[in-house]
């Protein structure tokens, strides 16, 4: 018995490693699909209470799901329209920003040159910098020789020139296509999100009943229901908590930016507020919009220090005082797990992985806590 167990252990380890490798490869290759699907799942969890409320008003589930998705699209359209109007004004002021940036670059280059000159004066002795004229050797006289101008290369035949032009055009087209293909694929997959959300909301009860009927035992059905409800509650708490926190930061930031007469404070405030919620990178990202918006208005360094320090104070208050109450009280993930999850999902899915890492990990913890045999793993992920 011991010999067979010792023999089976390497096989089990190898099978586990193979499954992990295959899962990682699948998540990486199909990242666009999984990002789109998980985004739709999170939005469906977020809109489920609204659908339930409409159903209490005697609306069928299909109609309630359609109204909820329509409301979501209307809100996104209004936000996009307001952003577009502000971007148009920013585009008109772009020459002022470019002029200010060039002035800052010239000033920075001048300061660097002054620092280099001062450093050279300190490091290099004066006697080496100033050479007496007598010590300077006269340059040797070189006999002037008439140099023949280099022969110009013979022009290529027209057929060769045409082939080169076509090759350069083909390379340019291929480069542009490679750049745009990633964005077009993302936009194409994003267009499926509203339909996925609608079908998930309208067919969720049917799908859940079908899965429950396929399970043999009552305990397994209860565990599945508890896991689904736990994942939905955690995802909803994470999204709603971050949204409320982003709104509070946006209002505070926009009010301060309006007070200091910052241009485009209607866009800069919400942009800075929601960028502040990006894990580990929130503070530097939140500082970029107000600093860029202040370029054509302020020239003195104290103004930038005031804007940056106030934005940093808003970020620290929100993340240290409000975030634990609005989000952390329901997510229950320890900092080490959060850091590792952010690293892993960023390597797999890029920037989208930073936004989806915490809800995915929190959902896994909720699922582990609902299954008795997996609760030890849930405790490992917990705080």
d(CA 208, CA 201) in angstroms, rounded, equals 11
Q: Report pLDDT digits (tens) over 113-139.
A: 777 777 777 776 655 555 555 444 555
Tokens of 73: 């699209």
- Extract long-range pairs of 265-274: CB within 8 Å, 24+ residues apart: 265/293, 266/82, 266/86, 267/82, 267/83, 267/86, 267/87, 267/90, 268/293, 270/246, 272/311, 273/246, 273/247, 273/248, 273/249, 273/314, 274/246, 274/249, 274/250
- SS3 annotation, the chain: CHHHHHHHHHHHHHHHHHHHHHHHHHHHHCHHHHHHHHHHHHHHHHHHHHHHHHHHCCCCHHHHHHHHHHHHHHHHHHHHHHHHHHHHHHHHCHHHHHHHHHHHHHHHHHHHHHHHHHHHHHHCCHHHHCCCHHHCCCCCCCCCCCCCCCCCCCCCCHHHHHHHHHHHHHHHHHHHHHHHHHHHHHHHHHCCHHHHHHHHHHHHHHHHHHHHHHCCCHHHHHHHHHHHHHHHHHHHHHHHHHHHHHHHHHHHHHHHHHHCCCCCHHHHHHHHHHHCCCCCCHHHHHHHHHHHHCCCCCCCHHHHHHHHHHHHHHHHHHHHHHHHHHHHHHHCCCHHHHHHHHHHHHHHHCHHHHHHHHHHHHHHHHHHHHCHHHHHHHHHHCC
Cβ of 132: how many Cβ atoms within 10 Å? 7
Q: Mutual orientation of helices 61-92 and 265-275 as an angle, nearest 10°?
A: 120
d(CA 298, CA 305) in angstroms, rounded, equals 11
CA dihedral angle for residue 247, residue 253, residue 255, residue 259, rounded to 10 degrees? -170
pLDDT at 148: 59
pLDDT at 255: 92
Residue listed under structure tokens 């952010």:
342
Query: 57-85 in b/e burial notation, b at 16+ Cβ within 10 A?
Result: eeeebeebbbebbeebeeeeeeeeeeeee
Closest Cα to residue 233, out of 145, 326, 363?
363
Residue listed under structure tokens 């699209």:
73
Instruction: Judge whether 351 and 33 are in contact, CB under 8 Å.
Output: no
Instruction: Judge whether 352 and 35 are in contact, CB under 8 Å.
Output: yes
pTM above 0.85, yes or no: no
Q: Distance from first CA to last CA of the chain, Å, rounded?
A: 39
Blockwise average pLDDT, block size 10, the chain, 383 residues? 60 83 89 90 89 88 90 86 73 67 71 76 62 52 54 57 59 62 73 89 84 78 82 85 88 90 85 85 87 81 86 87 75 83 88 86 86 84 78
Give the contacts of 223 (CB within 8 A, at least 6 positions apart). Answer: 370, 371, 372
């Amino acid at each position: 018995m011991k010999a067979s167990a010792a023999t089976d252990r390497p096989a089990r380890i190898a099978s586990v490693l193979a499954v992990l490798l295959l899962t990682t490869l699948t998540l990486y290759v199909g990242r666009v699909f999984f990002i789109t699907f998980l985004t739709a799942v999170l939005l469906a969890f977020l809109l489920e209470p609204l659908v339930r409320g409409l159903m209490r008003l005697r609306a069928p589930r299909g109609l309630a799901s359609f109204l909820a998705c329509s409301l979501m699209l209307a809100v996104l359209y209004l936000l996009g329209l307001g952003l577009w109007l502000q971007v148009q004004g920013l585009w008109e002021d772009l020459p002022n920003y470019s002029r200010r940036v060039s002035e800052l670059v010239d000033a920075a280059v001048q300061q660097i040159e002054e620092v280099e000159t001062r450093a050279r004066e300190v490091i290099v002795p004066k006697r080496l910098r100033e050479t007496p004229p007598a010590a300077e050797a006269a340059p040797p006289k070189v006999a002037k020789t008439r140099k023949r101008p280099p022969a110009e290369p013979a022009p290529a035949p027209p057929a060769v020139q045409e082939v080169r032009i076509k090759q350069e055009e083909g390379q340019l087209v291929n480069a542009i296509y490679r750049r745009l293909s990633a964005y077009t694929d993302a936009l194409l997959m994003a267009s499926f999100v509203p339909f996925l959300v609608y079908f998930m909301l309208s067919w969720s009860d049917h799908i859940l009943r079908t899965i429950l009927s396929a399970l043999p035992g009552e305990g397994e059905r209860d565990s599945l229901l508890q896991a689904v409800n736990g994942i939905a509650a955690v995802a909803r708490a994470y999204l709603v908590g971050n949204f409320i926190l982003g709104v509070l930061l946006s209002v505070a930031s926009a009010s301060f930016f309006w007070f200091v007469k910052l241009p485009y404070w209607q866009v800069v405030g919400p942009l800075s507020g929601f960028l502040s919620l990006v894990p580990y990178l929130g503070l530097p990202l939140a500082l970029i919009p107000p600093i860029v918006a202040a370029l054509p208005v302020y020239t003195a360094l104290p103004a930038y220090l005031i804007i940056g320090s106030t934005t940093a104070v808003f970020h620290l208050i929100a993340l240290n005082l409000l975030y634990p109450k609005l989000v952390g009280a329901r997510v229950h993930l320890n900092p080490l797990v959060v850091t590792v999850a952010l690293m892993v999902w960023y390597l797999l899915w890029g920037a989208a992985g930073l936004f989806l890492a915490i809800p995915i990990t929190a959902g896994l913890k909720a699922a582990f806590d609902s299954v008795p045999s997996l609760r030890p793993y849930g405790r490992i992920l917990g705080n």
